[in-house]
Structure 1
Amino acid sequence: MNKKDLKDFLDAKVIQYNNPKFIESDPIQIPHQFSKKEAIEISGFLTATIAWGNRKSIINNAKRLMELLDNSPYDFVLNHSKTDLEKLTPFVHRTFNGNDSIQFIKSLKHIYKNHGGLESVFSKHVKKESLQVSISKFKSTFFEIEHLQRTQKHISDPLKNSAAKRINMFLRWMVRNDNTGVDFGIWKTLSPSQLSCPLDLHSGNVARKLGLLHRKQNDAKALFELDTALRELDANDPVKYDFALFGLGVFEGF
């Protein structure tokens, strides 16, 4: 199909999937349990961090993690004791274990105590049309305190050719605000035009079938190619098409 027909097709799919019904089966339901900005972003960040594998398992384990944080993630991050952290030891989601959880809580406390919070860190080092440098710099800040070396693998670095799917998804949650009630739009220092698509197996395969992506690997180079194509369809909100690509792949087997 030509570019206009493709845009019309994808715009219709965005409307179909970018609505409150989407929340029911998506990990984004976890941060939707909270109302305080810091609780939304911390729960969203932790949920996105473990968002790989079976979606039902992701949601169940994210709920379990929130329970271990006393369903008060911001208060837990700021005020936890050593004994509180020990409760996290049994937690596991795939290769993300209790030790990783404890390290993440310590690093998040460092971020909020010394760097003004998650939004502040991601808002530094922003390039005009990309947050990929910001993600890399965020990883450096996150692990500038004493940490377990193994835990570094749970935050991707786009400057090392990662598509950084989970962090790009988290940033979509925080930055986009299209008044449908799905994404939160609580970060005002960043623009939806700067976001990158959370490129994964489903969205990548659909993008290739639609001619939006030709590179075979789902890496940083593929992400740049897809971002470029999506920005040609909508420069102000290119990542809205994540709903279309994901919906077509997961719900329609496109």
Structure 2
Amino acid sequence: MNKTELKEFLDEKVIQYNNQDFIESDPVQIPHLFSLKEDIEIAGFLSATIAWGNRKMIIKNSHQMMELMGNTPYDFVMSHTEDDLARLETFVHRTFNGKDLGGFIKGLQHIYKNHNGLENVFAKNQEADSLQKSIHEFKKLFFEIDHLPRTPKHISDPLNNSAAKRINMYLRWMVRQDAKGVDLGIWKTISPASLSCPLDVHSGNVARKLGLLSRKQNDGKALAELDLKLREMDKQDPVKYDFALFGLGVFESF
């Protein structure tokens, strides 16, 4: 395929997968349960944090996290007691356990109480074509309070050459505004043009087969290479192609 044919092919795949049918098999369904802005962004953040492994298990455990917080995540974050945090200790998703979840609740409270919320923190450090510095600065603020030494590994740092797939996916959920019903688009102070593709095994393999990515590892350098190619196809909304790459990899075994 030449560049024009490739763009047309991927545009068709975006239309095929970027619709409400996508939600029922994806953890993006969790923030869709809520209407309050803060509930949406906290539910999305916690669900994206555990978004690795089996997708059905990710969704099941994300629902469990919401239930442990009484399905009022913002109220829980802001007004929890030590007894409330103790009840979280039964939770486990792979290497993310109840102690980590408790640490995340404290980190979120710190962000809302002292840094004017999640959107403000990410918006403050955005660059014209990247949110990778924003992710780095967010992680520093999130863990500037006391925390277990084991917990910071659950937020990737792109400035350490991580592709930061889960947090880039979360930012896609919060920022993209295309009225298709999948991404929530509740953050208005960040441009979709700054988003990066949530690069994982599926999207990486498809990108290589299509000639969009030459680097073999799914790391920060690979993400920069892929982002550049996707911006050539749509500078204003490059990560819409995540739907095409992910859909081709997961649903079509491309």
Matches within 5 A, 1:3-18: 3-18=3-18
TM (normalized to structure 2)? 1.00
Corresponding residue for 1:26? 26
Alignment partner, residue 173 of structure 1: 173
Pairing 1:52–2:52 present: yes
CA distance in 2, matches of 1:32, 1:238: 23
Tell me which amino acid in the other structure corresponds to 1:123: A
Inter-partner Cα distance in structure 2 for 1:61 and 1:146:
26
Counterpart residue type for residue 183 of structure 2:
D
Aligned to 1:182: 182
- Match of residue 210 from structure 1: 210
The one-letter code sitting in structure 1 at the alignment partner of 2:43 is S
- The whole-number CA distance in structure 1 between the counterparts of 2:112 and 2:126 is 19
Give me the identity figure in percent: 72
The correspondence of residues 79-118 of structure 1 with structure 2, limited to 5 A, is 79-118=79-118
4+ residue segments displaced more than 2 Å = none
> Which residues in structure 2 correspond to 1:57-68 (within 5 Å)?
57-68=57-68
Distance 2:18 2:205 in 1: 20
Q: Which amino acid aligns with 1:49?
A: T
RMSD, aligned CA: 0.4
Number of residue pairs aligned between Structure 1 and Structure 2: 254
Counterpart CA distance in 2 for 1:136 and 1:185 is 22
Q: What secondary structure, in the 3-state scheme, does the structure 1 residue paired with 2:52 have?
A: coil
Query: Which runs of 5 or more structure 2 residues have no equivalent in the other structure?
Result: none
Aligned to 1:147: 147
What is the letter of the counterpart of residue 9 of structure 2? F
C-alpha separation in 2, matches of 1:73 and 1:102: 12
- What is the distance in 2 between the residues matched to 1:134 and 1:24? 30
Shift of 1:124: 1.4
Q: Residue 200 of structure 2 aligns with which residue?
A: 200
Q: List per-residue Cα deviations over 1:105-161 (Å, max 9, x = no partner).
A: 000000000000000111112111000000000000000001111000000000000
Point out where structure 1 has 5 or more consecutive residues left out of the alignment: none
> What's 2:2 paired with?
2
The two structures have a TM-score, normalised by structure 1, of 1.00
In the alignment, the residues of structure 1 paired with residue 102 and residue 9 of structure 2 have an alpha-carbon distance, to the nearest angstrom, of 44
Per-residue CA deviation, residues 2-55 of structure 1 (Å, 9 max, x unaligned), is 000000000000000000000010000011000000000000000000000000
